[in-house]
Structure 1
Amino acid sequence: MFNSIDSLAAFVHAAQLGSFSAAARHLGKSQSTVSEAISQLEIDAGVQLFDRRTRQPTLTAAGSRLLSHAQHVLNSHADLRHQALALQAGEEAQLSIVLSDTFQSLEFEALLTAFAAQFPMLRLECLVGEDQDVLALLRSGRAQLGLVRAQGAYQADISYQAIAGQTQIALYVGKQHPLALYGHVDEAQLLMHRELMLSTYSERQPSIHSPRCWLAPSYLMLLEMTARNFGWAALPTWLAEQFGQSQLVQLSAANWPKTTTIDLVWLRNANLGPAACWLIEQIKRAS
């Protein structure tokens, strides 16, 4: 029972979602089934995983230590399942992948060249999305794989693999914008001007730098608005250099540019075909 995938899944989902009932809803099981699976796991492990004296069960010190190991087992099981499915199934008719404008990598482009040679008949669909929109497209079944700015932590239904390399995001204005005259800008100066801000459909955040802001769903649209001097924006440096070099000025500011990494993400329980599994495996080998 200690090696039961169902028990480990109940444990991980309860820890991440904050309650046995939430885990049960996510797994499509009754709360009593989840509670019993976790209790049996505690018996087999010989330690208490949750403190049940509070209104919502909280992880014990032992539970916190074992959680990452349980997640690793689930990830390995998912990898095994995907590889088995790839061997059983024929090549999928189409693979949809969500790309992020934060990311440009010559290594990834080379990987796509190898991918095209490996699966010459596959129909590849490339979508564009950022942050929570990428995860929403996976959960809706609209896409099978996605590239997303590293989130730090993901819900239990998401598997991920960091991609080698980093990307930078910096502050930019159009050449005719008042801020372009300054060698260095501070928070007070940014507050005086409109912020052009990325806003995904899944999650809209208020501006924290300016009381005035315009929102756009993509970095390319933000770049266009910035070039027209509507305000200042945080943009991927590769995008600004390639598409706005003659129209934009990079601002010097404290803690900018910011460096981030990119993750490849997919649904843990998705029935991925051979092409998707091949791409995941190649990225794992390169990372």
Structure 2
Amino acid sequence: MNYSPESLEAFLQAVETGSFSAAARKLKKSQSTVSSAIANLEADLGVTLFDRQSRQPALTEQGKHVLPYIQSIVAASERLNEVSVRLAGNVEPRLSFVLSDVWQTTHHESILQRFSQRFPDIEFECLIAEDEDVIDLIQIGRAHVGVLRVQPRYPLDVTVARLQVGAEMAIFIHRQHELAHLPMVEMDTLQTVRQLSLSTFTDPMRNKSGGPMWSSPSLLMLLEMAEQGFGWGILPRWLVEQFGHDVLQELPVAGWPQRIDVDVLWSNKTPPGPAGRWMIDQLRAQN
């Protein structure tokens, strides 16, 4: 029995987003088209996938049982697309790479040197973004390959792989601030001082301390704010060591520093060409 890719995709998006209307918006289709695609899939399978009695459709027990099989089918299709790209050998004329400042510069410098030698005629662009903004740039096709710290959830239209090299984040403040001289700093004390917080364009409300806050979508900008004595921030250790001008002090806070895992991701709807795949393979092989 053949199942249309559209019906499988509509089903998975409805599961991820929690409603047919949200799935339609994500797929840029009408709600009736998504509803019909799911109804056709139910007819093909001979089971009811969603309970439509409540305000939002909920997976039936049959739907829960079918879900991992459909996920496997879609994943296999995505892998087939990647193999076909590799076999075709048609190198893309341009590659956009979006990178998080969480990841140390030295990790990708050697890869870019080899990339320049292997693909000398490709137009290359490197963007800087964090967290949800990296995902958004991949989804809208503005970037082809992205590196970011691990996120709790990823949308269905991106493929993600864990990198072997992570990062360390710590809490920093100007050396002349009174907190810099304490043997231990409590989180309650930190909340009375301005936090320099990362805020992405996609999710601007990221104040997790509950106290006063200045924000920026750039970790490098937050570093500069901390250097000016405007408050404390959670920053990559490597960034402070390389660009902090020796004016910041790492604060002794329980649970910090923290090791951050890093992922590479790309679109499974429009997968990268051979140059992008080479970049992904090099990133994953680095240790």
Q: TM-score, normalised by structure 1?
A: 0.87
- Quote the Cα distance in structure 1 between the aligned partners of 2:72 and 2:282: 19
Provide, for residues 60-90 of structure 1, a one-character-per-residue CA deviation record: whole Å limited to 9, x for no partner. Answer: 3443354344334323312322332444463
Report the CA distance between 1:101 and its aligned residue. Answer: 0.5
Are 1:182 and 2:189 matched, yes or no? no
Report the CA distance between 1:142 and its aligned residue. Answer: 2.1
Report the CA distance between 1:95 and its aligned residue. Answer: 0.6
Match of residue 221 from structure 1: 221
Runs of 5+ in structure 2 lacking a partner?
none
Match of residue 79 from structure 1: 79
Provide, for residues 12-50 of structure 1, a one-character-per-residue CA deviation record: whole Å limited to 9, x for no partner. Answer: 111011122332343344544433443444455565432
Report the CA distance between 1:175 and its aligned residue. Answer: 0.8
Match of residue 149 from structure 2: 149
Q: Secondary structure at the match of 2:164?
A: strand
Return closer, same or farther for 1:12/1:184 CA change in 2, 3 Å cut-off. Answer: same
Return closer, same or farther for 1:184/1:61 CA change in 2, 3 Å cut-off. Answer: farther
Give the number of equivalent residue pairs: 287
Report the CA distance between 1:56 and its aligned residue. Answer: 1.5
Match of residue 211 from structure 1: 211
Return closer, same or farther for 1:75/1:149 CA change in 2, 3 Å cut-off. Answer: same
Report the CA distance between 1:233 and its aligned residue. Answer: 0.5
Runs of 5+ in structure 1 lacking a partner?
none
Q: Secondary structure at the match of 2:197?
A: strand
CA RMSD, 1 decimal: 2.6
- Quote the Cα distance in structure 2 between the aligned partners of 1:56 and 1:104: 43
Return closer, same or farther for 1:107/1:155 CA change in 2, 3 Å cut-off. Answer: same
Are 1:233 and 2:230 matched, yes or no? no
Q: Secondary structure at the match of 2:221?
A: helix
Does the 8 A contact of 1:170 with 1:256 survive in 2?
yes
Q: Structure 2: which amino acid aligns with 1:273?
A: G
Q: Secondary structure at the match of 2:261?
A: strand
Provide, for residues 120-179 of structure 1, a one-character-per-residue CA deviation record: whole Å limited to 9, x for no partner. Answer: 222221110001221222233321111122112112222222212322211001111111
Q: 1:63-102 maps to which residues of 2 (within 5 A)? A: 63-88=63-88, 90-102=90-102
Q: State the percentage of identical aligned residues.
A: 41
Return closer, same or farther for 1:155/1:184 CA change in 2, 3 Å cut-off. Answer: same
- Quote the Cα distance in structure 2 between the aligned partners of 1:247 and 1:186: 22
- Quote the Cα distance in structure 2 between the aligned partners of 1:230 and 1:27: 43
Report the CA distance between 1:190 and its aligned residue. Answer: 0.5
Q: Secondary structure at the match of 1:120?
A: coil
- Quote the Cα distance in structure 1 between the aligned partners of 2:212 and 2:205: 13
Does the 8 A contact of 1:75 with 1:159 survive in 2?
no
Match of residue 276 from structure 1: 276
